[in-house]
Structure 1
Amino acid sequence: MMESATGSRNEYDVFLSFRGLDTRQTFTDCLYEVMKGTGVRVFRDDDEIQVGQNIKDELWHAIESSKIYMPVFSKTYASSKWCLKELAKMMEVTSRSNGTKEILPIFFDVSPGDVKLKTSLYKNELSNHAKIYEADKVKAWEKALVEVGKLKGWKPRNVGHGRLITSVVEDVLIKLNNRNKILTKHLVEDRKQVDAVIELLDINSGGTHSVGIRGIGGIGKTTLAKVIFNKLSPHFDCSSFLENVREISRRSDGLVYLQKKLLSSIHRSRNNELYDVDCGIDMIRRQLSNKKVLIVVDDMEEKDLLEKLVGECDGLKSGSRVIITTRNLSAIRNEPKTILDYEVKEMESDQSLQLFCRHAFGKDFPPGDYESLAREIVSTLGNLPLAVEVIGSSLSCKHDNRALWIEVLEKLRKAPLGKVRESLMISYEELEKEQKQVFLDIACLFVQEDKTYPIFMWSDCNYYPNYAIDVLLHRSLIKVESDSKFRMNDQVRDLGRHIVQEGDCKYPSKFSRVSTHEDALNILRSKQGNEHVEALKVRGHTFTDEELLNLPNLRFLRGTGLNFVGNFKDLLPMLRWLSWHHCPPEFTATNFCPINLVVLDLSSSDITEKWGGWTQIQMAKKLKALDLRNCKCLTRTPDLSNFVDLEILILAGCSRLITVDCSIGKLQLLKTMNMDGCDSLKELPEEVGYLESLREFIFPRSSKLVTLTESVGNLKSLSSFSVNYCKGIDKLPNSIGGLVRITHFSIKGCEGIKKLPHSLGGLESLVKLDLSFSGIESLPDSIGNLKKIKVIDMGSTKLKSLPDAIGQLEMLEELHCPECLDLSGEVPNSIGNLFHLQILDLSCTRISGLPTTITYPSHLEELHVRDCRDLTGEIPDAIGKLSCLRILDFSGTCISRLPATISFLPCLKELGLKECEELRRVPKLPSSLISLVLDAYHCEIIPDLSNLVTLDHLDLSFHRYKLKAPYQLEELMSPWKIVESIHQLPSSLSTLHLTDIPPPQQFSNFMNLSSLSISSCSMAHLPELEHLKKLRELSIKVCPSLERIPDLSCLKSLETLYLSELGSLVAIQGLEELESLESLQIICCESLEGLPQLSKLVKLKSFELHDCQVLQAIEGLGCLQRLKHLTILGCVSLKRLPDYPRFTKLDTDWKEPETSSAD
């Protein structure tokens, strides 16, 4: 459903029926553009019917293929015979659709009564038609009008167009299940189980619920979760599906990776910089607290993972839901908050047969002569989805071999029912010898690992890996996803490991693949009978030649901290892969010549270019991959001239590498070279240009690299060019124009590069250009030749102007120029030619005006001009035509007027108007807003805010002294009227920041607030906070008359408290009860006489106390185990400093008071 904006000719989601004279250029056009922008495939006659096509045939075909019909009834709708024909056809198709199609009417400027012919409006039109057309045709039109008039629909008279369109589109998306998690094309949905879990989730109730879906591997837990995710995600603000949590979390960076994935789903920012798990927990907690989210945590094994990924469920916004899939009931049983348990049932027989047939025959039912066989096979498999899928796939090309089917059935009958391992063995036994080897290697060695290195090994062993992988994929035994890593179902993986160990487990020497350290040591100690061993994993062992003499068939050896001692002549003849991490600097073995080696991984070793092993390993002339990442002692690459077959060279993290040996030029087959982190590199040899097969070259980020050789332009196979943060380079070679295949070009952080060569225009395949943080001052006119480019990032450069040629980039989608402090003048009119532009960011530049053509790019979603102080004047009225606009930020500009048409932006979610000093009036705002930042210091008129029914974040400032008395308009909002308007905002509001505006008299309507800030308020008392149970951040500052703050003891979720410049404040009631408090700042509270005992603040990490001049004592800090940062400045009356030795950061100017002594 989301394949294209408008869909193919043959299939649509929505059919729009409307009277063009009434609504084509207004309401219907906006509705069409918004739906199209969300991925809904909409049929509209003027866009979809081509010249020369038969109008009636095309209309009828579009109606037949659409899922939802949306007639827009206007005053002259019934005067059009085509509108009435369409309506009658819609009714006919809907009546025979068995509920799969639906009519959703919009009563635009008429009433349902008009459509039901209860008034003369449509009755008269039908009378006129009766004079021209046959009676039965008019009768059918009349019947269609009456029936559709009875249906529930939308009435724009009651709401604004923007709010209506938002409501319509949301309803359409829900009905189309538009936010889908990709599922197999052969999915058979078990509606009973789906409905059972949805009932447990109870999404229509408040609070937060979690449901655990559990069962054995292969029973369909993840598939069930995906189906539910598809159905429910449109009902939530954000949704995230975290797959394979158990496997990923075991990686060194696994938890942080999962946290980043979750944040990218719930937060618009592409960059979520996380430094550790705790940082991720904190960021996730803050992000999830103000959004109604649906999160699926797939395959969770450890109980504490849930808190690290999602936090405590009580901290989620009301209405949020969490789904966990697990094989282990204990992973969800002992959580602090009850997680409802649902155990997945086996598929019913008919569903299992349908699933089997889709895999085996490509349809829902078996051919007649195979029906009984298919049913027996499915019954024998025990209705387990994974087994059904795998066996069905294995028989998919055997429709003409009935004898084979009977044989398969007989084999299955011999295996105990319900045991997946025995069922899957059927598929394994059908594999060819080489395919079995590849399968077992993946199961024992390479799950969750990149496929590149294993393919090198398998190719040299003549296992035909690409074909083998294709067969394994076809039989559903493995999966290879977009990251090129192998995935394997747990049951399939365990099957492979069982096959390897099917002999006597007491004798690991009989195993072909040994992956445990203890088993490996037993094999090495036995020194005999080890000819079966092909793969070995071990750590910290010193191999002798005698030990390896008994491993003649070893082809894979992986270990950390290994060593080799002795004479290895004629040993390891089959070794293809050696992973030798933390290799020692001295090499004492002799005749170590693994001539068949294709993968050598010496990562994180202390070797240098003089390492003794180089001369012996030179004999490995078949080497395909050499991995030297993080070899910190390497200053020069070794002689590589013998490795003429090398395809991958990894030098990443070799921070002391200065020189690349000129022998690099002999690597004619090299495809990948990674030098990221080679910070000491001074130059690249001319011979680099000889690498004609090089596709990926990750340049070093070295400040010592000052030039790039002209020969770089000879790298005709290169797909990306990234020379980032090489601050010593001051120019690029003109030859780069010859890199005709690159799609990504980046000189990010190259401050010395002032201009780009004219030859840049020759990069005909370029899709993304990243010049951010470089010294670029201008763009060459040849940039207009980059016809395929979609993204240009010039943020924080010294760019002075945008060239007119920018308008020639017809495919450009994103133009980023933030923090270009020298960028000035008008934005060129040619910007209007960028019809595919979605994001324009000119924040913090000196641009002085936006052209009227800025409204031409109809797909524009984000317009950022924050802190453009030279931007003045009025924003053009035509901005209201940008129907896809989601984010609009004018903060810090000098614009004088926002047009009233801004209320026509149906998709606008975020509006920034902070520090707009020349802005005098703010028009009515669209009800779709989620975030509003408005400084109304200089405004004479701002709108009523009560229509912002979806608002989540409000930051509002108002200078009461700037109002001019003559204004008595109805829209004029005094501070007190603003308070009344705020009180009518939705209860879903999570963030409220008020400056120079008194807070509402009570917070009972804002129970979901997570952040509250009150600044520059003249009130002596604030309303009680007892309703703010979810409040995490509270800031009260610059309130000189405030004598007391409300009792804080009710704020059990409060994590941050900031109190500043409260000159009349004497005490802080309830502070001692804030058990969740992590950060406390009390600044310039001159009258504060004392603090309560703080020993209960068990989570407090940071405490800052400034200029509280009459405060005499701080008690209870000695009990706070987590407190690390303490700052005490300007507290002159403090009698003693807290005695607490655990501070990692202590900042104080406190001095012990002098004591008087008797003369």
Structure 2
Amino acid sequence: MESATGSRNEYDVFLSFRGLDTRQTFTDCLYEVMKGTGVRVFRDDDEIQVGQNIKDELWHAIESSKIYMPVFSKTYASSKWCLKELAKMMEVTSRSNGTKEILPIFFDVSPGDVKLKTSLYKNELSNHAKIYEADKVKAWEKALVEVGKLKGWKPRNVGHGRLITSVVEDVLIKLNNRNKILTKHLVEDRKQVDAVIELLGINSGGTHSVGIRGIGGIGKTTLAKVIFNKLSPHFDCSSFLENVREISRRSDGLVYLQKKLLSSIHRSRNNELYDVDCGIDMIRRQLSNKKVLIVVDDMEEKDLLEKLVGECDGLKSGSRVIITTRNLSAIRNEPKTILDYEVKEMESDQSLQLFCRHAFGKDFPPGDYESLAREIVSTLGNLPLAVEVIGSSLSCKHDNRALWIEVLEKLRKAPLGKVRESLMISYEELEKEQKQVFLDIACLFVQEDKTYPIFMWSDCNYYPNYAIDVLLHRSLIKVESDSKFRMNDQVRDLGRHIVQEGDCKYPSKFSRVSTHEDALNILRSKQGNEHVEALKVRGHTFTDEELLNLPNLRFLRGTGLNFVGNFKDLLPMLRWLSWHHCPPEFTATNFCPINLVVLDLSSSDITEKWGGWTQIQMAKKLKALDLRNCKCLTRTPDLSNFVDLEILILAGCSRLITVDCSIGKLQLLKTMNMDGCDSLKELPEEVGYLESLREFIFPRSSKLVTLTESVGNLKSLSSFSVKYCKGIDKLPNSIGGLVRITHFSIKGCEGIKKLPHSLGGLESLVKLDLSFSGIESLPDSIGNLKKIKVIDMGSTKLKSLPDAIGQLEMLEELHCPECLDLSGEVPNSIGNLFHLQILDLSCTRISGLPTTITYPSHLEELHVRDCRDLTGEIPDAIGKLSCLRILDFSGTCISRLPATISFLPCLKELGLKECEELRRVPKLPSSLISLVLDAYHCEIIPDLSNLVTLDHLDLSFHRYKLKAPYQLEELMSPWKIVESIHQLPSSLSTLHLTDIPPPQQFSNFMNLSSLSISSCSMAHLPELEHLKKLRELSIKVCPSLERIPDLSCLKSLETLYLSELGSLVAIQGLEELESLESLQIICCESLEGLPQLSKLVKLKSFELHDCQVLQAIEGLGCLQRLKHLTILGCVSLKRLPDYPRFTKLDTDWKEPETSSAD
């Protein structure tokens, strides 16, 4: 656990010991155990960094610690530093009013030795008296005597293990911080820790509760422990109640948990409780006057929280409660709000690190095991529990690669036993229908859209919407914004294991058969297979006899299938048929699956004359017909019998010319997708009869030149999107009848020059997208769109903004970038847009901003980048935009920014790049996070040291533009700028400097992740050893630079760009950059050599240009991740380097010609 809080570390315990006696033995074990419980321990060899003042750091550590623990050993008193520490401890303790205490350990001495009643320490003090002042030795003597009187531990008759356990328990109680022990292999996910802490709102008042939710084994409890250990010191008392679900099911479980909670609060085990109600009353009384942190781990029943913690309103202000659960329902329906946090899967790199710590005892795998380790981690689904179990099981088997491969194969077939047991808890609590839905998703629908499965499940009476909600609550599935099912790999494998656990040798017992081989075995057996409900197979010709043996088949998916025979009364349960690459001929008879609700014939060679249409017409319950990519279809078939159809997909039917007029019979149709129907010439009038149609994706067809007037009858349509139909030159006037649409787009319709006046009738419209169309003007009726929030007119032919724009009282975003014909001043009516948040006029020809621009008090972003006609001074009133976050004047011809810009309290980003007329930059607001400033022509720029939150600085300065000395008192010279930069906050993450020398040292920028130095005349750059977090480094156009600092300390560096460094001879430390992914070395004419590069194991791209004296490149052959290698203009290179087989090489290198003797 980290101990840093603020700029210097704070500690719980200060360990004072004689290194020669106990450093490698007792003290080391004590330190590690305390650290493992989350106690912040100071030990001088770990905590004092090279270059720090030893005394200052020691004294700070003592002042900040709560408990002092001197370990008295035989030579303790011979060390002047030990005695100095002890005297300082006594001094701090004496003035602490009881908040600090000393807990001595008499390791191999007696208290009498320490109290100077024997010669052991007396003799050492006598020796010190010969060297040091009498007052100092007297103070040491007094400290020894006083501490010797204190009660402490005497390990002589106790094993070290038991003693350390006792010491740590006592420390935790005294710290009132019952820290939870965490595995030494912990890989802390700081993003998730920070996210939960933010939800808890530690710095705010009131009481807050957060539920940490996720599947078994995903790390809920570990996350809660990490947060508990971090936060508990900030509370009066804290308690962590583990395994609540399991313990509460015991007869005395609730009373036991209540006692445990009370003992944590009282630090006493004597809490007599007679029943649960007694416990509730006592807890309520005890928690009302203490600021508490309570974790309730693994809670499944929502009423447990009240019995354990009581009403959250009854807790003292500042108290916080954390619940971990597998089930969202346990926290969702509470009368008071419990914020929900769903634990994310570990990122791949974190999972690999965790695996390696268990398997190899270090953070990275050996090179020859890397790919295998990554495959194992990927197969485990980044589930921490699974990663830990497998990693530990392989920890002593590094020399048995065959075993590792066997383990991987086994994992691919079934989940781990321990993981399976954990996940089965959630599965077993599902109802019968919910289990069916869960198993279907695991075996059939991972990464698939939920719409079609819901049709099938509804017809099977599985109540799918409720079932999906339950599965979501239990974190067994996820449904993200794309409406696709997601499932952790281990959860998926659990579902598949449940389906197969009857007897893996006999697939006929499986309810869902998803492998081609198993499916063929079932079909060939010609036996009754009533268990089979779902089948996936490819390239098979079904006979009626085969399907007779599958009476309960409800799902059939296959590619290149065929049906031969008489199928009368067969497939009575079939709800879903996916028949991809269906042949153009249909020979089956009586193929009438009457209960079919989903028919997917994607990518088939069928036409409107296909023989299967007449038989499938009997499927009157059909809900979805998917004909996407049926490229032989020129006309849709007769659809009149599919009266229940809700979804019709024709996307990618590139030869479709006509839509059959029977389309008008589909009164329940909700979705029609014709994207990619490039040959469509017209839509039938009957399209206007589709009263239920909500989503209509029009074709992007250049041949579609008109839209039928009946389109205006689609009263249920929620969005109207006709994109990139370049043949359409106007919209029907009836478009105003689409009163329910919220989104309207004609993006890319270059032929449409104007909009119909009826557009003003779209009373529900929220977003209007006209971007990349041919629109030249807007109708005045646009002022009637009272609900509209977003208008995008980017890259159109728009010439001016109408005054009517000011009537859009709910407008929040107005985007007009790249409107090259948009000129003149912005209309004054813009000031009426009181809800406006974003105004983007970038790359237009606007010439002025009205004073009313400051009236929209909610304006957050103002973009006028590259508006070359925008000149003069910006109005002073801009300082009134109190919500403004982003202001970009880059590429304009403004001459002055008003001083009122410093009054903008929320301004985060300011762009002033290439403002060639700008002469003065006033004082900038301290709220800035990002500043881009070309000061090439500025006479005055401000001191930057007040930018205390700055994160990104891109600064260019032309050293030849300095003005007359009369401005010297205000002028910022390059060196003054450097001094100003050095005072910027340590949180700065991006620093780009052009024509400005870098600061003399980077010690203040330890959080820098991107550094760029350009056009610098210095011969040497400052050292980089402090930039531990640097990921990108660019040094270019520095012709005098003879060497760059040693790079070996940049362990996080991913990108290195070196260009036009004419004097550079060598690159020191390049060979140690194990995180480097991209390396570019360009026009370094004096570069004589490169180090051996074999350690750059993550390198993906290497570009070498015009390094004319470079003769060799070594070490690329083993870089398996290297995908791109470019070597151009390196004329002295003697040979091409070895490189991996799959690396793409781009080079102009030619082998030197060799002359033979005559």
TM-score band w.r.t. shorter chain: 0.5 to 0.7
After superposition, the C-alpha distances for 1:879-937 in whole angstroms (9 at most, x for unaligned) are 22222211111111111221222222222111111111111121221222111111111
After superposition, the C-alpha distances for 1:185-242 in whole angstroms (9 at most, x for unaligned) are 9999999999999899999999999999999739993998699699999999999999
Shift of 1:648: 0.6
661-670 vs 48-57, which deviates more?
48-57
1060-1069 vs 712-721, which deviates more?
1060-1069
Shift of 1:527: 3.5
After superposition, the C-alpha distances for 1:239-279 in whole angstroms (9 at most, x for unaligned) are 99999999999999999999999999999999999999999
The 1:536–1:327 alpha-carbon spacing in structure 2 relative to 1, beyond 3 Å, is: same
CA contact (8 A) 2:177 2:237 kept: no
Alpha-carbon distance in 2 for matches of 1:132, 1:738: 100
SS of the residue 2:966 aligns to: coil
116-125 vs 583-592, which deviates more?
116-125
CA contact (8 A) 2:654 2:679 kept: yes
Shift of 1:581: 3.5
Alpha-carbon distance in 1 for matches of 2:389, 2:873: 65
CA contact (8 A) 1:390 1:424 kept: no
After superposition, the C-alpha distances for 1:163-206 in whole angstroms (9 at most, x for unaligned) are 99999999999999999999999999999999999899999999
The 1:1150–1:902 alpha-carbon spacing in structure 2 relative to 1, beyond 3 Å, is: same
The 1:951–1:263 alpha-carbon spacing in structure 2 relative to 1, beyond 3 Å, is: farther
SS of the residue 1:967 aligns to: helix
The 1:1135–1:588 alpha-carbon spacing in structure 2 relative to 1, beyond 3 Å, is: same
Shift of 1:792: 0.8
195-204 vs 46-55, which deviates more?
46-55
After superposition, the C-alpha distances for 1:298-351 in whole angstroms (9 at most, x for unaligned) are 999999999999999999999999999999999999999999999999999999
Residue 880 of structure 2: aligned partner: 881
Alpha-carbon distance in 2 for matches of 1:51, 1:383: 38
Residue 759 of structure 1: aligned partner: 758
466-475 vs 65-74, which deviates more?
65-74
Alpha-carbon distance in 1 for matches of 2:267, 2:638: 48
602-611 vs 986-995, which deviates more?
602-611
SS of the residue 1:923 aligns to: coil
Alpha-carbon distance in 1 for matches of 2:1013, 2:562: 66
The 1:297–1:670 alpha-carbon spacing in structure 2 relative to 1, beyond 3 Å, is: farther
Shift of 1:962: 1.0
The 1:629–1:522 alpha-carbon spacing in structure 2 relative to 1, beyond 3 Å, is: same
Alpha-carbon distance in 1 for matches of 2:864, 2:274: 30
CA contact (8 A) 1:34 1:884 kept: no
583-592 vs 286-295, which deviates more?
286-295
207-216 vs 355-364, which deviates more?
355-364
SS of the residue 1:575 aligns to: coil
350-359 vs 13-22, which deviates more?
13-22
After superposition, the C-alpha distances for 1:1119-1159 in whole angstroms (9 at most, x for unaligned) are 54444434344444445544658476544444555556677
Shift of 1:602: 2.2
CA contact (8 A) 1:480 1:487 kept: yes
Residue 621 of structure 1: aligned partner: 620
Alpha-carbon distance in 2 for matches of 1:1034, 1:503: 58
21-30 vs 1138-1147, which deviates more?
21-30
CA contact (8 A) 2:415 2:490 kept: no
Alpha-carbon distance in 2 for matches of 1:877, 1:158: 81
697-706 vs 983-992, which deviates more?
697-706
CA contact (8 A) 1:412 1:426 kept: no
Shift of 1:982: 0.6
CA contact (8 A) 2:800 2:823 kept: yes
Shift of 1:1087: 3.3
Alpha-carbon distance in 2 for matches of 1:884, 1:109: 67
Shift of 1:743: 0.6
Shift of 1:821: 1.6
Shift of 1:675: 2.0
The 1:928–1:568 alpha-carbon spacing in structure 2 relative to 1, beyond 3 Å, is: same
918-927 vs 415-424, which deviates more?
415-424
17-26 vs 375-384, which deviates more?
17-26
| Number of residue pairs the alignment of both structures matches | 1158
Shift of 1:838: 1.0
CA contact (8 A) 1:163 1:928 kept: no
The 1:752–1:323 alpha-carbon spacing in structure 2 relative to 1, beyond 3 Å, is: farther
Tell me the percent identity.
Answer: 100
Alpha-carbon distance in 1 for matches of 2:867, 2:497: 66
After superposition, the C-alpha distances for 1:75-113 in whole angstroms (9 at most, x for unaligned) are 999999999999999999999999999999999999999
Greater radius of gyration (CA): 2
The 1:1033–1:578 alpha-carbon spacing in structure 2 relative to 1, beyond 3 Å, is: same
The 1:67–1:1092 alpha-carbon spacing in structure 2 relative to 1, beyond 3 Å, is: closer
CA contact (8 A) 2:3 2:11 kept: no
Shift of 1:859: 1.1
SS of the residue 1:1153 aligns to: coil
Shift of 1:810: 0.5
The 1:330–1:48 alpha-carbon spacing in structure 2 relative to 1, beyond 3 Å, is: closer
Shift of 1:857: 1.0
Structure 1 stretches lacking a partner, 5+ long: none
Alpha-carbon distance in 1 for matches of 2:483, 2:43: 41
The 1:416–1:741 alpha-carbon spacing in structure 2 relative to 1, beyond 3 Å, is: closer
941-950 vs 500-509, which deviates more?
500-509
Alpha-carbon distance in 2 for matches of 1:1136, 1:364: 36
Shift of 1:1046: 2.2
Alpha-carbon distance in 1 for matches of 2:426, 2:890: 63
SS of the residue 1:891 aligns to: coil
Shift of 1:463: 6.9
848-857 vs 216-225, which deviates more?
216-225
SS of the residue 1:1034 aligns to: strand
Alpha-carbon distance in 2 for matches of 1:826, 1:169: 73
Residue 438 of structure 2: aligned partner: 439
CA contact (8 A) 2:560 2:580 kept: yes
CA contact (8 A) 2:667 2:690 kept: yes
Alpha-carbon distance in 2 for matches of 1:271, 1:772: 73
CA contact (8 A) 2:215 2:423 kept: no
The 1:1042–1:831 alpha-carbon spacing in structure 2 relative to 1, beyond 3 Å, is: same
After superposition, the C-alpha distances for 1:731-768 in whole angstroms (9 at most, x for unaligned) are 22222222111110111222222222222112111100
RMSD: 22.2
CA contact (8 A) 2:176 2:238 kept: no
Alpha-carbon distance in 1 for matches of 2:28, 2:876: 17
SS of the residue 1:1118 aligns to: coil
Residue 349 of structure 1: aligned partner: 348
The 1:1040–1:329 alpha-carbon spacing in structure 2 relative to 1, beyond 3 Å, is: farther
526-535 vs 1007-1016, which deviates more?
526-535
Residue 743 of structure 2: aligned partner: 744
The 1:3–1:879 alpha-carbon spacing in structure 2 relative to 1, beyond 3 Å, is: farther
SS of the residue 2:967 aligns to: coil
Shift of 1:672: 0.5
The 1:346–1:578 alpha-carbon spacing in structure 2 relative to 1, beyond 3 Å, is: closer
SS of the residue 2:415 aligns to: coil
Shift of 1:555: 3.2
Shift of 1:614: 2.7
Shift of 1:609: 3.9
CA contact (8 A) 1:391 1:426 kept: no
Residue 1082 of structure 1: aligned partner: 1081
CA contact (8 A) 1:211 1:339 kept: yes
After superposition, the C-alpha distances for 1:16-36 in whole angstroms (9 at most, x for unaligned) are 999999999999999999999
SS of the residue 1:151 aligns to: coil
SS of the residue 1:962 aligns to: coil
742-751 vs 329-338, which deviates more?
329-338
CA contact (8 A) 1:217 1:490 kept: no
Alpha-carbon distance in 2 for matches of 1:459, 1:977: 73
The 1:518–1:974 alpha-carbon spacing in structure 2 relative to 1, beyond 3 Å, is: same
Shift of 1:799: 1.6
The 1:393–1:799 alpha-carbon spacing in structure 2 relative to 1, beyond 3 Å, is: farther
SS of the residue 1:956 aligns to: strand
The 1:1131–1:234 alpha-carbon spacing in structure 2 relative to 1, beyond 3 Å, is: farther
Shift of 1:1011: 1.4
TM-score (norm: length of structure 1): 0.63
SS of the residue 2:417 aligns to: coil
After superposition, the C-alpha distances for 1:17-56 in whole angstroms (9 at most, x for unaligned) are 9999999999999999999999999999999999999999
CA contact (8 A) 1:393 1:475 kept: no
TM-score (norm: length of structure 2): 0.63
The 1:955–1:441 alpha-carbon spacing in structure 2 relative to 1, beyond 3 Å, is: closer
CA contact (8 A) 1:166 1:906 kept: no
Shift of 1:851: 1.0
SS of the residue 1:1035 aligns to: strand
CA contact (8 A) 1:790 1:813 kept: yes
Residue 524 of structure 2: aligned partner: 525
Alpha-carbon distance in 1 for matches of 2:532, 2:404: 35
658-667 vs 714-723, which deviates more?
658-667
After superposition, the C-alpha distances for 1:639-677 in whole angstroms (9 at most, x for unaligned) are 323323321101234445444334333323211011233
SS of the residue 1:676 aligns to: coil
SS of the residue 2:720 aligns to: strand
